[in-house]
Chains A and B, each alone.
Chain A
Amino acid sequence: MEELDVEPTTTNIPAGATGKCFPFIHEVRKDEDIYSPILRKLFNESHHIFVGLQTIREDLPNKNKKTQFVSISKNYRSVIRACMEELQQGAVLTQDAELATQYGNQVSILLAIELIWNLCEVLFIDNAPGGTLLLHLLDWVRLHKADVDEKAQEVLQSESPTEHHGYWDVVLSYVLQGRMDEARQMLLKWSALKPAARSMYKQMDNLLHKMPVYNPGGNKTLTEFDVKWRQWHEEVDHCLQDNSFASDPNLELICKILVGDEDALLEQKDLLSTWYHFLVTRMLFSQPTVKPTELHYYAQSCLAMFDSGAPEPLDSILLAAFEFDIHQVIKDCSIALNNWWFVAHLTDLLDHCKLLQSHNLHFGSNLREFLLLEYASGLFTHHSLWQLAVDYFDYCPEFGRVYLEQQIEHVPLDTERKALKVLRICEQRQMSEQVRSICKIMAKRALRNNRLGSALSWSIRAKDAAFATLISERFLQDYCARGTFSDLDLIDNLGPAMLLSDRLTFLGKYREFHKLYGENCFADAATLLLSLMTAKIAPRSFWMTLLMDALPLLEQKEVIFSADQTHELIFCLEDLTSSLNITTVPLDEPMQDEDMEVTKVELLRLALARNLAMAIVKEGTVEV
């Protein structure tokens, strides 16, 4: 699932005469698996199972846990199977030859995965005792060598089944898989046409019928079963010694198989097709009570006896499983399959079964976490599967958070909806730095698009005081330029958010002044205006505007500013003009601007003086 294949294709480019070291061009390929729409279902469904597994309660009794783990393992496998079926259908339906090959390849990979997973389930997770083990192994072989049924179908549908060239192959295959009832059904057809061999048939039918099968839920102990099986085995051996079937080579062969004759079994290599089928069949007819610990010995010898050339990766993986070498299985799978999905999920499950203790990697986290991180990182590179990866990172206690923090910032935020989803992920995990950065990105984008209201909302959400100040400045500039406020719906409803930055507070308060003024609450408006300056909430650059705002209040017929307040206004004005003079003297300001300023100051001084006079008179007058 990683971004690149393990070994990138290397192409040699002939170097120039001077070039001693050859430059290499690496051809980078996309991982096809992750972009296959059908495999996406596998990722999504298994994500659900994975999360369910992580939330299994620790305090359950071990017995219940084991049943749960086995059923989770089966769930994983059924998802693989469903996916495989869909790929097979796709391969059949598609017109595109290349796509069909791709589907075919994916099916074969999934087949191998399911085969390995199933064996691991039988051996490690279920860990069945002797007797039951063989039953599970038989199921395993039957599931993965299902072509017998197709062949049987074909034979039975032909005109005369017993004459069909595949007839005896089917009978033998059934016997080799321990499906004695089906084998007997097939033999019945043959006997119907051969009355002469009736007694021979009867004898064979009897042997097949009587073959003991261990029943783990029954009332017989394993020893009792063993005794019974030995009796049956002797009976078969007896028949062979008697040459009971000597007149029919096919029945003779079946009898040899039943007695567990290894040479006879090996002659059926084509029908067995794999060494592990050979192993299971051999156990069926010679060691039906084989224990898990004894298996590896037989597995090795079967692989050697089957002798199908150099072992392929799959063979060594299965052999490692039979040897109970879990780490070897995982290691080999990682190398052979180039598919982190499988190893990550299997390792996680085995880790929950407490089968992977005390194995730490030299680079920090344990094997489970390492594989999960690899898998999840692969998902994160995908345009839309990144959301799944978050839960995987959550369940990696050591490095999961660091990985998530690094990768989440790289998710492209096309819409606010997506930004909100990413934000929610970060907020749930208290990743405050990422929250800030996402809000900042969104605020900047809104600002670039001239959406001051949105930008302010985002910086309030991020509690980003600096940016809120910047946007408040923009609002004030816009006001100075146009004389009206934009985005009133937002500014009027700032509430406690107003306290985020001084400038924002000023913006909110200044707007409040306008509202009071508009509602003719002049006294309140005047008090507010004055306090904006005396409490130093207003930036100095804005004082002249504020003073000019005071002008109409000073010119009202009624006295609004008291004598004390007027004094304070005068102080503010003097404060401002003295500092202005210092700064403006060395500069060659255009005369007009300075004139304007001078006129404003003169106007203000006049108004202030008049107001002061009126206020003194009013305050000194005793009403009668």
Chain B
Amino acid sequence: MEGTNAKYVSQKISKARWRPVSASSLQQPEVFATGSWDNEENKIAIWSIGDGVFPGMEDDFEGDPQLLCECKHGGDVLDLHFLDQERIVTASSTGAVTIYHLHPDTQTVSVSQRWTRAHHYPCDNAPCTGIVCKSPEIVTVGEDGRINLFRADQEAVIRTIDDADSSTIHAVTFLRTTEILTVNSIGQIKIWDFRQQSNTPAQILSQTGDRVPLHCVARHPNQQHIVATGGQDGMLCIWDARQGNAPTSLMEAHTAEMWEVHFHPTNPDHLFTCSEDGSLLHWETTSGSEMPTFLQGGPNTSGFSRGAVAPAGGGQSLISAWLNGDSSKGRLETTHMLPSQTLSVNSLDVLGQCLVCGTDGEAIFVNRQVLV
């Protein structure tokens, strides 16, 4: 794919995330963090693809990610998020949740806070599988079925829901300020409200029949009730959290586990998914009656495109094209973003026109010309 840069990094990458850019500036992101897994010694690493962010950066190879600094990480990095521009939160297979501080001046990264047994069994550690942050709050979930609410700079845990799930919780996202949404390994979506004192979910959504484990979840950045999930069968599901049990649309996406799904943060008509089958898909829908952008020379130029068919979402008025994937007005296009590749794409992140992803083939791919 045009504009995609590959770099081999000698470690299997489990997570890749852009460092947020300040909201006021229009600049593209230049720094990202990665986490590794399944290595004898795992690391988080900070990379730069441009100049200017860190003084003294050499810019010999344009676009080629340059390692700025790295730091050891105990256990596999199972999730990684930027809390703000200078703090990174990681989830570890040892059950620890760690906040790293990134010092842009000295180009170093160090541990600033750690909750060692945030997730645990009675006499063993339990992997922490997912986190979501909204500074200063951090919510973590784990294989122990527990939900923790932390606040950066406060040592004590603010709230714990033990046995929130009888199976593993794979991912978590914020729905509203006090509401979170979790997905688990028996195909359920649970909505929790921290205002309620009870330890039961406010709502449970699940697919009827199959109990396909769900691995990832993303919320529409503008329309908070629209949620996308991906699971073991590689299907992309779009849910309307306001109504009912079944997903409003189901789309065939990948042939193996979907590890991550992301709406584009500023242009949510675009969505990105990556999978164990080694592919990374760019989904584009056109909402409302506007002129579809892809007709003006969109990404549908490579030979990879294929249409996706989705069941109609019912007779409600058209609000978001995602909720009725095959309506006559809206259309859905998918494009493969990576050259053919056999090993799993574990993580991706998209910000502005930049996309980064990490694979089990120990490579990082960066694309700075994503058509959004």
Contacts and interface: CB of A to CB of B under 8 A. Distances in A.
B361 A44 contact: yes
Contacts of A487: 166
Interface in B16-73: 37-40
A451 B276 contact: no
Interface in A380-438: 383-384, 387-388, 391, 414-418, 420-421, 424, 428
A496 B93 CA distance: 32
Interface string B181-216: 000011110100000000000001010011100000
Contacts of A497: 211
A110 to B, nearest CB: 16
Interface string B110-148: 000000000001111011010000000000000111000
Contacts of A424: 256-257, 276
Given A51-B342, A450-B122, A486-B166, A415 B211 contact: no
A41 interface: yes
B93 A452 contact: no
B343 A387 contact: yes
Nearest to B360: A387
Contacts, number: 120
Interface residues of A, number: 42
B349 interface: no
Given A40-B362, A44-B362, A451-B144, A384 B78 contact: no
A487 B145 CA distance: 11
Contacts of B40: 383-384
A454 B167 contact: yes
Given A383-B40, A421-B276, A424-B257, A415 B8 contact: no
A450 B121 contact: yes
Contacts of A416: 127, 129, 143, 168, 185
Contacts of B75: 414
Interface in A439-454: 448-454
A391 B166 contact: no
B257 A486 contact: no
Interface in B222-258: 232, 256-257
Contact of A449 (B122, B188, B342): B122
Among A41, A428, A449, A460, chain B packs the most CB atoms within 10 A around the CB of: A449
Interface in A346-405: 383-384, 387-388, 391
Nearest to B361: A44
B122 A490 contact: no
A145 B135 CA distance: 59
B186 A493 contact: yes
B38 A451 contact: no
B286 interface: no
Among B185, B204, B276, chain A packs the most CB atoms within 10 A around the CB of: B185
B76 A415 contact: yes
Among A44, A415, A421, A487, chain B packs the most CB atoms within 10 A around the CB of: A415
A487 B188 CA distance: 13
A44 B8 contact: yes
Nearest to A391: B342
A48 interface: yes
B215 to A, nearest CB: 8
A489 B190 CA distance: 10
A425 to B, nearest CB: 10
Given A383-B39, A418-B38, A424-B256, A453 B167 contact: yes
B256 A417 contact: no
B284 interface: no
B177 interface: no
Contact of B38 (A38, A383, A420, A450): A383
11 contacts: A40-B8, A44-B362, A45-B8, A384-B40, A387-B12, A388-B361, A424-B276, A451-B167, A453-B166, A489-B190, A490-B186
Interface of B: 8, 10-12, 37-40, 75-76, 78, 93, 121-124, 126-127, 129, 143-145, 163, 165-168, 185-188, 190, 204, 206, 209-211, 232, 256-257, 276, 340-344, 360-363
Given A45-B8, A451-B143, 18 more contacts: A41-B10, A44-B363, A383-B40, A384-B40, A388-B343, A388-B361, A416-B127, A416-B143, A417-B37, A424-B276, A449-B122, A449-B144, A451-B145, A453-B167, A488-B166, A489-B166, A490-B186, A493-B187
